[in-house]
Chain A
Amino acid sequence: AKEKLNFAYGYPANSAVGLAVEDYAAAVAERSGDNVTVTGFPMSLLSLPETSPGVRDSLADVGFVLTPYYPAEYSNNLFLHEQNLLINLAENPTGKEPLAFTGAMLEYTFNNCPECLEEFKAQNQVYTGGGVTPLYNMLCKDTSITTIDDLKGKRLRAGGAGFVRFAEHFGAQGVRLPVNEVYEALDQGILDCAMLSAPELTNYNLYEVVTDITLDVPGGAFAGVASANVNADRWKAMSTEDREALLWGGNAMTAATTWNFYTDDSAAVQKSRDLGIAFHEPTPELLAAVKEFAAQDLKTVSGLFKETYGVERAEEITAEFAPILEKWYGLVTDISTKEELQQLYWDQVISKVDPATYGQ
């Protein structure tokens, strides 16, 4: 039968995610021979925190779900996201770490983390794709961060508990503010810097207030993304062919989300340079201290999630995940287009998922 699916995502239509949803719709239509059509709903249907329960209760058939909104429901998935600090420990960073992290997380979730898939199942959802943002940087107004001392006493916008730990580790204050208030807070001087990825310069027009940028401090990336979760009832009622088309779409969504963020990152950095915003290199001491913090915080997080947040296999997951990420660093080195990335994720991971049995 003809299937019409509604895809809800809490971002504007022309954002990295909105453009990825267009790719998703095109990929699904093409693979299913136009049997499955997808309509995107930017922001109006479900807000970001509503997307997970909204897909669960069929308000949307597919949704861009951010797991950090629901730590109790998604503690194992969230723990995988928390591994993002591993990026800071990469031996020879190439800038493609987010592409690799996406692949590693996709592979680990599908193949090695039954409890992760179980969490989605408990929310009446079927996971078909992920995605990772670029690295976090220091976006500052009238202050520059290059040394460890520069961080002391600064007011830094912190998006989550990990960023507050980072700020406190370096003697700064972690100020919790919603991202859409960062513009005014920087402008008024309530914040010295915001710890955000470069595309947010474009998304929230932070160009207008930011004067100084230090790249790769604090590092890490946002990976708590299930970019194309399908309502489980809907999934089960579909033919195997249609489900295969949705897996193909989830793959396209994963690649497009990650790739769009990746290219937005370089575009935002270039635009900032053109506008005359000052870029600062962190000193080797600061970079070393950031690495040291990452290594220490990964241990902290592992302990926290095992003891407080009920992730029983925390140590095992940490041990298994790192080598998979290392493998992916190698796999993405030659990737230079979105299509190559899509092919890589498909060949390595999603093509091996059996649409006849998955998500049942």
Chain B
Amino acid sequence: MSELQIAGLFIGALFFLILMRIPIGVSLIAVSFAGLWSMFNWNIAWGSLGIVPYNFANSWVLSSIPAFLLMGFICYHTKLTQGLFSAAQIWLSGLPGGLAIASVFGCAGFAAVTGSSVACSAAMGKIAVPEMIRHRYSAELATGTVAAAGTIGALIPPSILMILYGIISRQSVSQLFLGGLVVGVITLIAYVLLIVVRVKLNPDLAPPVHTQATRAEKIRALGQTWPVLLIVIGVFAGLFGGVFTPTEAGAIGATLSTLVALVYRTLTLKALRMAIVETITTTAALLIIAVGASLLTRFLALSGIGDALSSSILSFGVSPVLIMVGIVVVYLLLGMMLEPVGAMLLTLPVVLPLVDETGFSLLWFGVVLVKLLEIGMITPPMGMNVFVIKGVVGNIASLSTIFKGVFWFVIVDLLIVAALIAYPDIVLFLPQMFAR
């Protein structure tokens, strides 16, 4: 059997284990280990177990994940989020799915603060989902909206993925950021439209909220949003005022939430303990999957999947658009199994030269790639954003429910990708306007 066939066999085994409800982290580690063992030898497999977990978790950039989680959990357990959503309810009651729309805008706001979509989903998940459930939104719509909206996190700058792409492909990071901003905003608008249309067609998804609020009540509701607004504005001001970096923003947000809750007199020892317990269990449950995915990336790298990818992409045809379709298909497939950084490191060495040959610009491709990798964050079976939402909402929704909830968002995403391929200028006009 060739190394590639072995890899295919083990990927099949991985799918099987995951479908049989074996915990995803355990499945990934077991399959990567067995794969390395059978493809090479015991020493390589055994060695990888000792090296990868520590080096993966030992990361400054990842530290923003528990920090943003803590911020979200504190806001939730000290009820700081209540005012924000009663205001949204009163102000957006006319709109079908108003709370879901408010959540999408909330995610876009967080996207401007954090560079990773996991951090984005983590911060918004606990704030938005329980409020929607309280207003009898379907769990599917509530969780799916936030999981999908989290993907805007890596599109709107700052973005860790775009910085990494810029380093590997030598493209301008600020130009990538401008292109990402456009695609992020397009995604935002498309998601809002999708929610409106879906709720119009099926009002049960999000029962209309009947409030005949007077002007005075409306203004008073706005006044109750100050705790969360204060936190968000504080984080924004510090970020753009050069006080701290996006990685540090999570810790600052958590500290601000604690202080605001203290002033708001809702911070109890019990609330703090709850927030911390949820933060550590969610972080650990996510990171063991990420460690497993990282191990799987090494196994796939050693299987020589790179060359196989380039030949399978070329099998789609020789015209630039067909090659690009091939690339899109390959990333959608890889996105099912791998997390974005692993997928990028594994594929870019073979994909970048192909893109160059098609005549599409590498700048344009960087933005499209990040969009594709973000779609992978919400596609089954490995969808990190979906896992984050599962982690923060607990028993409100099962993993299958959340995956069902993101289905329509993925369809919209695919339409956006098709539009970007058909009209590359959508991505390029803003960067070109500001080109140095």
Contacts and interface: CB of A to CB of B under 8 A. Distances in A.
Complex A–B touching at CB under 8 A:
yes
B430 to A, nearest CB: 15
Which of B40, B163, B245 has the most A CB atoms < 10 Å from its CB?
Answer: B245
A208 B55 contact: no
A320 interface: no
A6 B50 CA distance: 20
B51 A6 contact: no
A44 B173 CA distance: 21
A180 B345 contact: no
B257 to A, nearest CB: 22
A266 to B, nearest CB: 17
A57 B51 contact: yes
Contact of A59 (B44, B173, B342): B44
Contacts of B243: 190
A208 B436 contact: yes
B163 A188 contact: no
A5 to B, nearest CB: 13
Contacts of B60: 178
A57 B168 contact: no
A351 B240 CA distance: 56
Interface residues of B, number: 44
Interface in B144-179: 158, 163-164, 166-168, 170-174
B232 interface: no
A188 B346 CA distance: 31
Interface in A35-71: 41-47, 49-50, 53-54, 56-59
B245 A45 contact: no
Contacts of A3: none
Contacts of B239: 188
A185 interface: yes
Interface string B301-313: 1100000000000
Contacts of A178: 60-61
Contacts of A56: 47
Interface string B216-253: 00000000000000000000000111111111000000
Contact of B245 (A6, A13, A14, A185): A185
Contacts of B348: 12
A57 B170 contact: no
A122 interface: no
A53 to B, nearest CB: 5
A44 B301 contact: yes
Interface string B252-294: 0000000000000000000000000000000000000000000
A184 B245 contact: yes
A181 B47 contact: no
A54 B43 CA distance: 11
A283 interface: no
B394 interface: no
B297 interface: yes
Contacts of A208: 172-174, 436
Please report whether the interface of chain B is mostly helix, strand, loop or mixed according to DSSP: helix
B404 interface: no
B47 A45 contact: no
B298 interface: yes
B351 to A, nearest CB: 11
Contacts of B170: 14, 202-203, 205
A178 to B, nearest CB: 6
Interface string B369-383: 000000000000000
A275 interface: yes
Given A49-B55, A58-B44, A44 B346 contact: yes
A62 to B, nearest CB: 14
B336 to A, nearest CB: 18
Contacts of B48: 57, 59
Contacts of B171: 205
Contacts of A53: 47, 50-51
B8 interface: no
B349 A45 contact: no
A205 B172 contact: yes
B242 A190 contact: yes
B246 A184 contact: yes
Contact of B47 (A41, A54, A177): A54
A188 B349 contact: no
Interface string A231-275: 000000000000000000000000000000000000000000001
B247 A181 contact: yes
Contact of B167 (A12, A41, A49, A188): A12
B417 interface: no
Given A45-B298, A57-B44, A13 B349 contact: yes
Contacts of A202: 170
Contacts of A59: 44, 47-48, 51, 298, 302
Given A44-B301, A190-B244, A12 B168 contact: yes
A181 B173 CA distance: 12
A43 B298 contact: no
A85 B411 CA distance: 58
A183 interface: yes
A323 interface: no
B302 A45 contact: yes
B283 to A, nearest CB: 20
A189 interface: yes
Contacts of A46: 51, 298
Given A13-B349, A44-B345, A205-B172, A50 B51 contact: yes
Interface in A3-36: 6, 12-14
8 contacts: A42-B349, A45-B301, A47-B55, A58-B41, A59-B302, A177-B245, A180-B163, A205-B171
Given A56-B47, A205-B174, 4 more contacts: A45-B301, A46-B298, A49-B58, A185-B245
Q: Which 10 A-B pairs have the closest CB atoms?
A: A57-B47, A189-B242, A188-B242, A44-B345, A44-B301, A43-B345, A12-B168, A44-B346, A13-B349, A53-B51
